[in-house]
Chain A
Amino acid sequence: DQQVKQNSPSLSVQEGRISILNCDYTNSMFDYFLWYKKYPAEGPTFLISISSIKDKNEDGRFTVFLNKSAKHLSLHIVPSQPGDSAVYFCAASLKTSYDKVIFGPGTSLSVIP
């Protein structure tokens, strides 16, 4: 049972435009959400996170939005750069299983110069 879903396996965006990566979750107990970025042949690296008490968190070109009622979060990258081309994983953690972070299947972003 997939608790964290990223329904778009891939996304292509023109350089300079906005990239929007979406993530849906099923478990309302999740209280902390993270985005990771992964280049080929490397491990995932942390990008940005958001607590369930907030609905927006911004870090430079990256903004994460959380809609708890819809159990949906999104990552906005603006402006997109070719170096942003990578796989982006959405992840969530449970209040009752504090050591377990559940990852989505990832969305492969290609930023076209």
Chain B
Amino acid sequence: DTAVSQTPKYLVTQMGNDKSIKCEQNLGHDTMYWYKQDSKKFLKIMFSYNNKELIINETVPNRFSPKSPDKAHLNLHINSLELGDSAVYFCASSPDHRNTIYFGEGSWLTVV
């Protein structure tokens, strides 16, 4: 049973399109995250939600909008995709900040 699952795993799309990546965790964690791993392999936090409330919103373009319908789900919507959005996006969850973060397998987004 996958603890943090995200779909799709691979996504190739054209510039200007709008796409979503879905994430679900079955660990009962209160906090969920979206991380981006860019071409230089840096893992950077984008958003953090705690019990459906936005806690952290890093300097991410407002084309990126997270949506948390419940504490087990945190979806990422991206509007007007740009070439620079190509990256691996990791969903993650944790019971609290001190505990370990559990990552999903990643979603490889390629914008052409």
Q: Chain A: residues with CB nearer than 8 A to chain B?
A: 32, 34, 36, 41-46, 49, 87, 89, 93, 97-103, 105-106
Contact = CB atoms under 8 A, between A and B. Distances in A.
A101 B45 contact: yes
Contacts of A41: 105-106
Interface residues of B, number: 25
Contact of B42 (A44, A49, A105): A105
A103 to B, nearest CB: 4
Interface of B: 4, 31, 35, 40-45, 48, 50, 55-56, 90, 92, 96-98, 100-106
Give the most central of A49, A103, A105: most B CB within 10 Å.
A103
Nearest to A46: B100
B45 A100 contact: yes
A46 B97 contact: no
Given A43-B103, A99-B55, A100-B56, A105 B40 contact: yes
Contacts of B103: 36, 43-45
B100 A34 contact: yes
Nearest to A97: B56
A46 B101 contact: yes
Nearest to A87: B41
A98 to B, nearest CB: 4
22 contacts: A32-B97, A41-B106, A42-B105, A43-B106, A44-B43, A44-B90, A44-B103, A46-B101, A93-B97, A93-B98, A97-B56, A99-B31, A99-B48, A99-B97, A100-B45, A100-B48, A100-B97, A103-B35, A103-B42, A103-B44, A105-B40, A106-B43
Contacts of A43: 4, 90, 92, 103-106
